[in-house]
């Protein structure tokens, strides 16, 4: 295994009196796809916000490519190579697909080239490049949200529940695209409630329950031990 790209150590996060994460340890290797699975309220979104530096009052260490990011702001974390697609497909409804991509690019010339690369991952977006954000289906909006996070050419992509609210068919399509993104070399940390599919498209997985890492293992091992994963997930 390569040296870790992302290393999270002793991560504890609180919302007032509620402790949402208890001393979580997690790592992602370069180019690796890792699933973060667990029921509602397990702490998946909180962990992603902490990696991105969006939560005041978190403690612990976040290291990326050997750099200590613990005291670094969100902008520095984005610049160093972390992309983030938060839960809920936040796209600009009043801009076209192409404009949505370009506004997420650090510079205009590279933006056009990068948008082409994004379209290669998501041909359905290319076909809709002049369509307004509001006119897209749920699956297309999710693809656009992921595409926007890819515009900075991140080395690590944080994806928070990309399949939320999608039909099983679209959920499969979106998560297959996530697998393609990681196969092309971008590391992915994927928070998902669709455990089976998340385990199919990742190499390793962490099971979170009530803010603690209950278990971590190779995704295929967790898939084989479905009785165990059902127990871990309370399914
Ligand atoms: P979901 O799939 O529902 O988003 P999750 O695994 O992402 O779940 P989090 O959203 O990280 O879980 O929530 C972890 C815990 O922190 C839960 O107990 C939740 O109620 C609490 N929590 C999350 N956000 C807040 C907030 N803004 N204020 C107070 N408590 C919060």
Is the pTM for the entire model greater than 0.85?
Answer: yes
Q: Is 43 in the pocket of ligand 1 (CB under 6 A)?
A: yes
Whether 33 is covered by a domain: the verdict is yes
Whether 1 is covered by a domain: the verdict is no
Give the CA distances from residue 233 to residues 25, 35, 65, 210, in Å, rounded to whole numbers and listed in that order.
19, 13, 31, 11
What pLDDT, on the 0 to 100 scale, is given for residue 109? 75
What pLDDT, on the 0 to 100 scale, is given for residue 226? 66
DSSP lists the bridge partners of residue 207 as 37, 215
Whether 105 is covered by a domain: the verdict is yes
Q: Which residues fall within 8 angstroms of residue 224, CB to CB, at 6 or more apart? A: none
Mutate to test the pocket of ligand 1, among 45, 195, 210, 234 (most ligand atoms within 8 A of CB): 45
CATH of the domain at 117: 3.40.50.300
What pLDDT, on the 0 to 100 scale, is given for residue 235? 47
Domain total in the chain: 1
* Cβ burial, residue 40 (10 Å; 0-12/13-18/19+): exposed
What pLDDT, on the 0 to 100 scale, is given for residue 39? 87
Q: Which domain holds residue 174?
A: 6-233
Whether 34 is covered by a domain: the verdict is yes
First to last CA, the chain: 32
- The Cα 164–Cα 166 span in angstroms is 6
Q: Is 151 in the pocket of ligand 1 (CB under 6 A)?
A: no
What pLDDT, on the 0 to 100 scale, is given for residue 73? 93
Q: Is 98 in the pocket of ligand 1 (CB under 6 A)?
A: no
What pLDDT, on the 0 to 100 scale, is given for residue 74? 94
- Say how many C-beta atoms besides its own lie within 10 A of residue 106's C-beta: 12
What is the full per-residue pLDDT of the chain (235 aa) written as tens digits?
Answer: 558 999 999 999 999 889 999 999 999 999 999 999 998 889 999 999 999 999 988 899 999 999 999 989 999 999 999 999 998 878 999 999 999 999 998 777 788 889 999 999 999 999 999 999 999 999 999 999 999 999 999 999 999 999 888 888 889 999 999 999 999 999 999 999 889 899 999 999 999 999 999 999 999 999 888 665 565 555 4
What pLDDT, on the 0 to 100 scale, is given for residue 231? 58
- The Cα 131–Cα 127 span in angstroms is 9
Closest Cα to atom 11, ligand 1: which residue?
43
């Amino acid at each position: 295994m390569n040296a870790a790209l992302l290393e999270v150590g002793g991560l504890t996060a609180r919302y007032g009196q509620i402790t949402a994460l208890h001393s979580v340890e997690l790592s992602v290797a370069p180019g690796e796809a890792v699933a973060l699975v667990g029921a509602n309220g397990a702490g998946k979104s909180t962990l992603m916000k902490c990696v991105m530096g969006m939560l005041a009052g978190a403690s612990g260490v976040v290291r990326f490519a050997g750099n200590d990011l613990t005291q670094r702001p969100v902008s520095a974390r984005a610049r160093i190579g972390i992309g983030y697609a938060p839960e809920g497909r936040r796209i600009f409804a009043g801009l076209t697909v192409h404009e949505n991509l370009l506004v997420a690019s650090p510079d205009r010339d590279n933006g056009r080239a990068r948008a082409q690369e994004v379209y290669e991952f998501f041909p359905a977006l290319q076909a809709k490049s002049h369509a307004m954000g509001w006119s897209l289906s749920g699956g297309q909006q999710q693809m656009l949200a992921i595409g926007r996070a890819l515009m900075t050419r991140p080395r690590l992509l944080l994806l928070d529940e990309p399949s939320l609210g999608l039909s099983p068919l679209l959920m499969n399509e979106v998560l297959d695209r996530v697998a393609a993104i990681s196969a092309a070399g971008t590391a992915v940390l994927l928070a998902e409630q669709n455990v089976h599919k998340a385990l199919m498209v990742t190499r390793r997985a962490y099971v979170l329950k009530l803010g603690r890492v209950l278990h971590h293992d190779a995704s295929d091992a967790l898939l084989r031990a479905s009785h165990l994963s059902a127990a871990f997930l309370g399914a």
